Amino acid sequence: MKKSIVMEDHSKQEAGKRRNFTFRINIFFFFTFFLFSVLIVRLATLQFVEGQELLEEKTRIVSADTPIPPIRGNIFDRESAPLAYTVPVQSLYFRIEQPQPKEEVIALAKRLAQIFADNVREGDTSLTAEEIIKEMDVGYDLNGDETEKKPSYNSVPRRIKTDLNNSEMAIILEHRDELKWIEITEESIRTYDPVKPVAVQLVGYMRPYSQAREPRNGLSFYQDKTNTDGYMDTEYVGYDGIEFMYQKELRGTNGKKTYPVNTLRKIIGQAEVTPPTKGNNLYLTINKDIQSITEKAIIDHLAYLKSPAVRNDPYIGKGKNAVAGYAVAMEVETGKVVTMASMPDYNPGVWAGGIKTNADYLKIQPFINNGTITTAYPDYPTAEERNKHPTSIVYVGSVIKPLSVLIGLKEGLFGVGTRYNDTGTFYYGKDNNAKLSNSDGKVNGYIDAAEAIRVSSNTFMSAMIGYELHRQKGEKAAEIWDSYMAKFGMGVLTGTGLRNESPGISEYLTNKKESLQQRMVFASWGQNEKYTTMQLAQYATTLATRGERLKPLLVDKIQTYNGDPVQKFDQKVVLDKTEFPKEYWDAIFKGMAQVRTSGFEDFKYPFARKTGTSTQRVAGNKEVDNAVFIAFAPIDKPKLAVAVVVPEGGFGSYGASPIARKIFDAYDYYYGLDGVPKKDAADAAAAGQAANKPR
């Protein structure tokens, strides 16, 4: 009985163990099933829900893109002579990857510095390790200390050096496995005539995009990201002149190198290259030869004014302090600008390496601005000294007198045949207590409008136009005067489209220290308005066209890099049109045809001209005389209009007109003031002489 009970208990225990085991097995299979279910659901999610996203992630991980800067289009003159062009170079770039131990990056900078030092070209300077790590833009210096400037755009490679020489390239490529995170990329750099760049300020210059977009000193165009999609910090962009004005057309688009890499960011295969798209080529309206002649004419004439032979001459010697000159010539039939010279100039290649110090900038600062369209400063070593001399924007002086006469005739202040007794002096003011005189107090007697232009009578302009316009029109006189100025291109932008173009200074509107009567009197002979040389050229062209104000055209055509046409600028653009009776035009042309000037004694074409000698005060009470000159030729069928300004050049006849003569001669030689280029005849004669030489 006892044994039976024991066996029964044992059976119960075995049954319990089996139930417990079965339960555990069930729990195990349940959890196993659950885990497999979760795994299957997750795999399904990965496959069908997150598959595309993970595929993109996989692609991002296994490839690394390096952008290739675009190849910028070239800039030529109208005859296809290069002015600014790109040349291929090999550049060294540094890639930021994670992780990059500081000590290894610093060691790389030092190694590269040694390579550059050992293989430097004669006459060049090599980059130091300090300069290299700064270009790497990693946020720390050679000591590993953090810098104030934080890294920007980590994924964008940093350009370390442009234009590697053959020795540098050979060593870097030989030790590529040791020199981590660097690569050599072919790109282009801007190049100018190595002997004598021309039209420097018109062509403009370039700066790195990283500087061009700076919040404080950059340009709003580059600060707007909608304009700069794909731009690289290291690429150079147009900052002034044509380079900036046509930035979009010139730039092209980026290319890229795509590297296969493993999860450790190591390159594991050959790169796929998508080449950049080349920018368009521009052909300007200027002629390089005429531009060169103009620039040389200005520099030579400035030297002549200082020469011992004329320094003490009572007329020519008045220009002995001149240090700068500006000239613009426009085709009357098209509005195309043939030459635009702001002298002295400088070599724009200095921007390619970057202006590294303030001292370097100050050396070129007087020459950077295009003095034909905006304020340019005289070349003196200090700002204090520069302030003692006029800038490029001066009072226009007597060149305004043809327009003054037109205004007087149009407003009915006098007639074409009205004669005025010029006693050499004119009194005005509330009690006739203000007095002005002609140059040297010259008495001209009874003169009409045409004769007033010929003899450049200040008293005629004052009494018959400035004073009378105020007497008849009262407070509206300045407004009326300003409307005429605008129609002839003064006091308004000329339409060139160039950055920083100045509208000039219309002091008859702004100088409230003087009475309106006095302002109008002085404005009538050019002593209350300061305008640019470009404005004066447009004004001269408007006179030549008898009232059509033409837009100055700077670009003749745009082509692709391979020469396919993109856009052609054939048609003149009329910005304004002012009608005057024929007898008014005939009167001022008659006067302009008889103005005495120097430098044109043997000029074979009848031409219209007006000299100007504007006087202004600088540095307190010091008075200086500026030489101003406008002209167009031939007078019966005008082809070319010219304006020349020489601050502190003295009389316009001696300080400016000889420069204009050389511009007319140059145009006549290459294009013909009568439509027949004299170069063709000269070339034919030279060829004939060569053929007739005995052999």
- Listed by start position, the domains of the chain span 2-49, 64-280, 394-678
Question: 35 or 612, which is more confident?
Answer: 612
Average pLDDT over residues 297-323: 95
Model confidence at 505, pLDDT cuts 50, 70, 90, reads: very high
Average pLDDT over residues 321-331: 97
CATH fold group of domain 64-280: Penicillin-binding protein 2a (Domain 2) (3.90.1310)
Residues 579-591: pLDDT tens digits? 999 999 999 999 9
- What's the pTM? 0.85
Q: Where are the alpha helices (DSSP H) in 206-327?
A: 209-212, 220-223, 241-245, 247-251, 288-306
> Could you give phi then psi for residue 499, rounded to 5 degrees?
-65, 140
pLDDT at position 385? 87
Question: Over pLDDT 90: what percentage of the chain?
Answer: 64
Mean pLDDT of the chain: 89
Asked whether residue 669 carries a pLDDT value surpassing 70, the answer given is yes
Pairing, β 236-238 against β 182-192:
unpaired
Average pLDDT over residues 330-347: 96
Q: Which of 70-79, 377-386, 680-689 is least confident?
A: 680-689
Model confidence at 293, pLDDT cuts 50, 70, 90, reads: very high
Which CATH superfamily, name and number, covers 394-678? DD-peptidase/beta-lactamase superfamily (3.40.710.10)
- Rounded CA-CA distance 317/305 in Å is 6
Q: Which of 126-130, 291-295, 383-387, 490-494 is least confident?
A: 383-387
Question: 349 or 405, which is more confident?
Answer: 405
* C-alpha distances in Å from residue 289, one per residue of 166, 537, 640: 36, 20, 16
Residues 581-634: pLDDT tens digits? 999 999 999 999 999 999 999 999 999 999 999 999 988 668 999 999 999 999
Model confidence at 66, pLDDT cuts 50, 70, 90, reads: confident
Asked whether residue 247 carries a pLDDT value surpassing 80, the answer given is yes
Would you call 621 exposed, middle or buried from its count of C-beta atoms within 10 A (0-12, 13-18, 19+)? exposed
Question: 70 or 203, which is more confident?
Answer: 203
∠ CA 212-213-217, rounded to 5°: 70
The single-letter DSSP state of residue 614 is E
| Structure-block tokens of residue 353 | 């390496």
Model confidence at 7, pLDDT cuts 50, 70, 90, reads: low
Average pLDDT over residues 6-12: 59
pLDDT at position 681? 83
Q: Which of 152-156, 304-308, 349-353, 521-525 is least confident?
A: 152-156
> Could you give phi then psi for residue 505, rounded to 5 degrees?
-130, 115
Buried/exposed code over 439-457 (b: 16+ C-beta within 10 A; e: otherwise): eeeeebeebbbbbbbbbbb
Asked whether residue 373 carries a pLDDT value surpassing 80, the answer given is yes
Q: Return the SS3 of 5.
A: helix
Cβ-Cβ contacts under 8 Å for 300 (sequence gap 6 or more):
none
